[in-house]
Structure 1
Amino acid sequence: MQKLNFPTYSFRFKNSENKVSIFDVVRKKFVILQPEEWVRQHCVQYLIEVKNYPLSLINVEKELTINDLKKRYDIVIFNSDGSIHLIVECKAPNIDIKQNTFDQIARYNLALNATYLMVTNGINHYYCSMDFEAERYQFLKDIPDYK
């Protein structure tokens, strides 16, 4: 897998039936290693090791329903009260992040009401904070560390 714009992390890998899997510390299981999964696993480690978010507040690859359509978010970080602090949308490194990616995470946020949004393809990272009253997001240099 290609080098990403994240710190270097140690991962557990497994080979089975000619497929490589990576261990997901959130789901506590091995998952097939695809380019988007490589980005997701780096992002999870970044959130835990650099931003100090507790593993217990992180959720990965869960289904949500938006306008009767079933969607899956990549990463969500909860506040201790159960509200959503951050949504992360991960793309494979070869996928350019364009307006449609921001539209996708904004649609997810209509249902989830996160304070912060992050979009990454492992190479480029974009961070936003939500202004719910003005119904728009503001770009940030980074997301806040866990307090």
Structure 2
Amino acid sequence: MIKLNFPNYNFRIKNSENTFYIFDPIRKKFIVLQPEEWVRQHVVQFLINEKKYPASHINVEKSLTINGLLKRYDIVVFNKDGSIHLIVECKSPNVSVDQHTFDQIARYNLALDGDYLMVTNGLDHYYCQLDYESEKYIFLRDIPSYIR
């Protein structure tokens, strides 16, 4: 896998029958190591190690229904009260982050009502805060760290 624009992390990787797997500490199981999963696991480590979010507040790859269609978000971080703090959309490093990606996470947010959004392909990261009163996105240089 290619080097991503994140700090270096130690991952548990195994090879079984010529297929590589990476251990997901949130789902507590090995997942097939695809390029998007490589990005997702870097984001999980970034949230836990750099931003200090408790692993217990992080949810990975869960289903949600939007306009009658079954969708799957990549990562959601919850606030202490159970509301959604952050929604993360991960793309493979070879997929450019574009308007389509932002439209996708915006659709997810219609159902989830997060405070912050993060979109990344592992190389480029975009962060924004939602201003529900003005109905606009405020782009940020980074997302806030966990506040106890």
* TM score, norm. by length of structure 1: 0.99
| Structure 1 segments of 4+ aligned residues over 4 angstroms from their partners | none
- Correspondences of 1:32-71 after superposition (within 5 Å): 32-71=32-71
Equivalent in the alignment of 1:16: 16
| Deviation string, structure 1 residues 64-99 (Cα, Å, up to 9, x no partner) | 000000000000000011000000000000000000
Give the % identical residues. 71
1:16 to partner: Cα distance:
1.2
1:12 to partner: Cα distance:
0.3
Q: Secondary structure, in 3 states, of the residue corresponding to 2:88?
A: strand
The RMSD of aligned alpha carbons is: 0.5
- Correspondences of 1:1-147 after superposition (within 5 Å): 1-147=1-147
Instruction: Name the stretch that deviates more: 13-22 or 106-115.
Output: 13-22
| Deviation string, structure 1 residues 105-133 (Cα, Å, up to 9, x no partner) | 00000000000000000000000000112
| Deviation string, structure 1 residues 19-65 (Cα, Å, up to 9, x no partner) | 00000000000000000000000000000000000000000000000
Give unpaired runs (5+ residues) of structure 2: none
Give unpaired runs (5+ residues) of structure 1: none
Q: Secondary structure, in 3 states, of the residue corresponding to 1:146?
A: coil
Distance 1:13 1:126 in 2: 28
1:134 to partner: Cα distance:
2.1
Distance 2:108 2:136 in 1: 14
Distance 1:121 1:115 in 2: 21
Equivalent pairs, count: 147
* TM score, norm. by length of structure 2: 0.98
Distance 2:66 2:38 in 1: 26
Q: Aligned AA for 1:25? A: P
1:15 to partner: Cα distance:
1.1
Q: Secondary structure, in 3 states, of the residue corresponding to 2:11?
A: coil
Q: Secondary structure, in 3 states, of the residue corresponding to 1:20?
A: strand
